[in-house]
Amino acid sequence: MNSPTTVYLESKNHYPILDGLRGVASVLVIVFHVFETFTGGNRFIQMINHGYLAVDFFFLLSGFVVAYAYDDRWDRMTTWDFYKRRLVRLQPMVVMGSVIGAALFYFQTSSAFPLIAGTPVWKMLLLMLIGCTLIPVPISMDIRGWQEMHPLDGPAWSLFFEYIANILYATVVRRFSKLVLSIFVSLAGCMLVLYLVLGPQGDLIGGWSLDKDQLFIGFTRVLYPFFAGVLLSRVGKLIHVKGAFWWCSLLIVIVLSIPRIGDEHHLWLNGIYEACCVIIVFPLIVAIGAGGHIIDPHSAKICKFLGDISYPLYITHYPLIYIFTAWVVNNKIPLGIEGMLVGLVLVIASIVLAYACLKYYDEPVREWLKRKVFNYQLPR
């Protein structure tokens, strides 16, 4: 094992277009959840229908960025150094998401969430503390009624699987040759295709409950895209396209907004579409985004802003969605002008909340943690 280091290795230059694309996908996730509120759980009438695939896009982006950032640094850091760096980057906002979820919990009382009204404060606070650790809770500890492994902040389930993928990368996969990694990714891709085409849903919805079926969905969703991202980084075959950010953004919007393909009798049709998105289109977008350059200063500012807020936006918006869902269900609000106006306010409020969390909490806390954990000194 490498000897421990107390020196904080400076972050490499980012791919600004990929940062911006992460932000575009995060905004689409919120829009997807707003429209989802009006479907009554019917996935066949959802608008922005494939918005949940943004999570799979995030996994692929993460794998690409992690490999780019760390593949050539293992002679200067230990596995624990890697874990600490990832925790410093991700964990502060996990804590904030859980705290915000707890603060807004009792404002979400609704028939859509049948367990909230009967949940004592002590139990909610206990779940908040557990949520701050990202440890998933069993269905028996549900306090909402949706059987989420993180009932105060639903999207934290994807961070749980990302942590697992990071552990697999650090302990095993980083040692794989390109050939072995290619075989591993191919097998994970086969598992993804088989589930989508032959499985019971024809889509990748799921992964947020602590039971065997949902865990299988979660692992199916993370293994191919994350490690395909690692492989893409190692292969290094990037695509150079003028205006890459805007073309990639348009492609993401189109891919995630396509109506569901097929009906409940032809689930495999939608499965083929989603398999093509995750296995072909998403790597293509990342290859174009990583190979592109930003010349226009306005585009650079947009990418930076979207990249900065992308993670805080994703991890903090859902408590507001819970409130929105309760309002829609309690007042029987249809998909119309009123619902869309309030939904638009929710999107704006989510962005403002994410930016506030970034500037007044996430960035200062991460700088403090770097100084404490790595003896990192801010540049003068």
**Confidence (pLDDT) at 13:** 72
Is the pTM of the predicted complex or chain greater than 0.85?
yes
Q: Report, in angstroms and rounded to the nearest whole number, the Rg of the chain calculated over CA atoms.
A: 20
Any idea of the CA torsion for 14, 18, 21, 23, to the nearest 10 degrees?
-30
Please, are residues 103 and 353 in contact by the beta-carbon 8 Å criterion? no
**Confidence (pLDDT) at 12:** 66
> What is the DSSP secondary-structure string of 258-321?
SPPPS-TT-HHHHHHHHHHIIIIIHHHHHHHHHH----SHHHHHHHHHHHHHHHHHHHHSHHHH
Distance CA 133, CA 160 (A): 10
Angle between helix axes 79-103 and 156-171 (nearest 10 degrees) is 170
Write b or e for each residue in 167-178: b if 16 or more Cβ atoms lie within 10 A of its Cβ, otherwise e.
ebbbeebbebee
Please, are residues 4 and 371 in contact by the beta-carbon 8 Å criterion? no
Residues 6+ apart with CB under 8 A from 112: 145, 325, 326, 329
| Percentages (nearest 5) of helix, strand, coil residues in the chain | 70, 0, 30
In Å, how far from its chain's centre is CA 179? Answer: 28
**Confidence (pLDDT) at 46:** 86
Distance CA 181, CA 191 (A): 15
The amino acid sitting at 227 is: F
Nearest to 146 by CA among 353, 354, 332, 325: 325
**Confidence (pLDDT) at 219:** 98
**Confidence (pLDDT) at 374:** 81
**Confidence (pLDDT) at 41:** 85
SS3 138: coil
Instruction: Give pLDDT tens digits for 108-145.
Output: 999 999 999 999 999 999 999 999 999 999 999 999 99
Distance CA 193, CA 166 (A): 23
**Confidence (pLDDT) at 3:** 47
Distance CA 278, CA 294 (A): 25
Please, are residues 64 and 18 in contact by the beta-carbon 8 Å criterion? yes
Distance CA 59, CA 228 (A): 9
Distance CA 152, CA 199 (A): 29
**Confidence (pLDDT) at 380:** 42
Distance CA 371, CA 82 (A): 16
Nearest to 260 by CA among 60, 54, 42: 42
Distance CA 153, CA 147 (A): 12
**Which segments in the chain show pLDDT lower than 70?**
1-12, 376-380
Cα–Cα distances (Å) from 190 to 185, 224, 227, 278, 291, in that order, read: 9, 9, 13, 12, 27
**Confidence (pLDDT) at 7:** 56
The amino acid sitting at 259 is: P
Residues 6+ apart with CB under 8 A from 138: 149, 210
**Confidence (pLDDT) at 11:** 66
Q: Find tokens 């704006």 and name the residue.
A: 348
Question: Would the CA dihedral through 125, 156, 10, 74 be positive or negative?
Answer: positive
